[in-house]
Amino acid sequence: MTDCTNLASAFLAAATTFPDREAVVFADQSTSYGELRQHALRLSALIDCGSDGPFCGILAHRSNTAYAAVLAILAAGCAYVPLNPGFPATRNGYIAKRAKLTTLVVGPECISALRDLLATTSTNFRILTLNRDRAFQALVEDFACRVTWQSAEVAPPRETCVVVDSESPAYVLFTSGSTGEPKGVVVRHRNVARYVQGFLASYPITPKDRLSQTFDLTFDLSVHDMFVAWNAGATLVVYSNAALADPVSYTRSQRVSVWFSVPSLAALIDSLRQAEPASLSELRLSLFCGEKLTYNTYRFWQTLAPNSRVVNLYGPTETTIALTHFEIPDRFPESATLHGGLPIGQPLPGQGLEIRRDDGSTCAIGEAGLLWLCGDQLSAGYLGDAEQTARRFVARGAALFYDTGDIVQLDQAGLLQFVGRDDGQVKIMGYRVELGEVEHALVRVTGAAQLMVEKVMFANGIEELVAVLPAAFASEKKRIRVELQKLLPTYMLPRRYVFTRNFPRNSNGKLDRNALLNQVLQSQAET
């Protein structure tokens, strides 16, 4: 990292050193460091924290605009707030309202999503684009009273990035919330800087490396790919939706050397039988994060990428990308896993953890307890929610800890093993999902007095959300699906629906979720 506290400065330094090196590669085009620097600084010249506020939105998807926007907003001294064209317009509208966004950098690939957003909100927006485009002109005319538009095409570039305090927000990512509304995690410049430093100290990246980018900007693992690559002068290889349908072929064709994905993507490749052994022999480093990496998936990946180091990373969004790591040794025995899951290892340099019992005392080795994390990767908490921030970020002596809600234990080798959750939160394709939020949306759509949503792993090894509803709603399945799509992102939608007349209760008269889940699994097995 450079001495400047602004994250964008590292990219600008690399662009000065390697102006002709590829910074970002798409399926059909390549953008050099010099070109991306020019795009970013032209966009950045149109952004001003004084008039635009501390947060600036991005509505762009795996494009030059998306990556130029991240750098432009940071260089201007603002924090970026990504929206997602795959999210329902109501969800994007909620995020925009919560972050008080008035300026959006929009890619031409998201013009339809922008139109939907404008149709569901009354906010006045200033729209910034890299180039002039007739589609934007038509939209501005349709929403003339609420939208202004500026293109960076002829703007004089900003000379350099604004020097910001290291405590300043760098980005805000909205995650699923148990109350039915997303919550925004505010991550600071120094949080990301410390993560990048700690990661590179353990796993050096060179300018010759080509790093995969399989994540959307709304997933915090995308931050790893961007800033680890750009700090090293390496190349970011972006996977389009088409490339993700056959990631092995794309990885080979783009000569990717560093892979990063959620374990589910590797499991999907395995289940689809898309690749022969050693198909990814050029990979030298493979990273997995976002959900449990199983021993079976790890063994499959070893056969696919036999020359690669394999690393299991762990960390909630609140602790900036990942806080613990475990490089899996060759011939790692399945007996050293916990319920088939690989260890999540030990903290990155400068970070720390405690495993506590309910009374706050420290757990012994081999004893399961709640995981509390500390260190300078801890974020600033939740946007506009001091109460929730105070509940999850708690001082203990001179240190501030984050309550992950995860249950873990230390094994005899000193490695951290993931046991489970202490609440209704799950991971689907790496995205954090509060089951309560999905259930809340289903109640809004159906009005059902009782229902349940759970994560289930089926025989193909893929985990899916299953919604259990009263039998009376069976004839409305199609309508329910359609209405739910208007409220929730695709990754939060149940893939299967089960309709039942029997909602078992426990001795306290509450819904017995375990008994109902067993009932669902039994019915699926029988069919």
Alpha-helix residue ranges (DSSP H) falling in 367-476: 386-392, 435-446
Find, among 491, 408, 426, 183, the residue nearest to 291 by Cα. Answer: 426
C-alpha 361 chain-centroid distance:
32
The predicted structure's pLDDT at residue 1: 44
The answer to whether 58 and 73 have CB atoms below 8 angstroms apart is yes
List C-alpha distances in Å: 44 to 15, 76, 231, 269.
16, 6, 20, 39
C-alpha 173 chain-centroid distance:
8
The predicted structure's pLDDT at residue 187: 98
The answer to whether 446 and 469 have CB atoms below 8 angstroms apart is yes
The predicted structure's pLDDT at residue 433: 86
Pair of tokens at residue 8: 């964008």
C-alpha–C-alpha distance, residues 161 and 8, integer Å? 7
C-alpha–C-alpha distance, residues 178 and 382, integer Å? 14
The answer to whether 370 and 404 have CB atoms below 8 angstroms apart is yes
The answer to whether 278 and 304 have CB atoms below 8 angstroms apart is yes
CATH 3.40.50.12780 fits 193-421, yes or no: yes
Give the Cβ contact number of residue 278 at 10 Å: 12
Pairing outcome for strands 369-375 and 399-410: antiparallel
Per-residue pLDDT of the chain (527 residues; tens, 9 = 90+): 444 579 999 999 999 999 999 999 998 799 999 999 999 999 999 999 888 889 999 999 999 999 999 999 999 999 999 999 999 999 999 999 999 999 999 999 999 999 999 999 999 999 999 999 888 999 999 999 999 999 999 889 998 899 999 999 999 999 887 666 889 999 999 999 999 999 999 999 999 999 999 999 999 999 999 999 999 999 999 999 999 999 999 999 999 999 999 988 898 888 777 789 999 999 999 999 988 898 989 999 999 999 999 999 999 999 999 999 999 998 899 999 988 899 999 999 999 999 999 899 999 999 999 999 999 999 999 999 999 999 999 999 889 999 999 999 999 888 999 988 777 678 887 787 888 788 888 988 998 877 889 888 765 566 789 999 988 899 999 999 999 999 999 989 998 899 988 888 655 555 777 888 888 777 665 54
CATH 1.10.4010.10 fits 8-20+29-164, yes or no: no
CATH 3.10.290.10 fits 431-526, yes or no: no
C-alpha–C-alpha distance, residues 527 and 525, integer Å? 5
Q: Global pTM?
A: 0.87
**Structural domain boundaries of the chain?**
8-20+29-164, 193-421, 431-526
Domains 8-20+29-164 and 193-421 share a fold: yes
Spatial neighbors of 460 by CB under 8 A, at least 6 apart, are 271
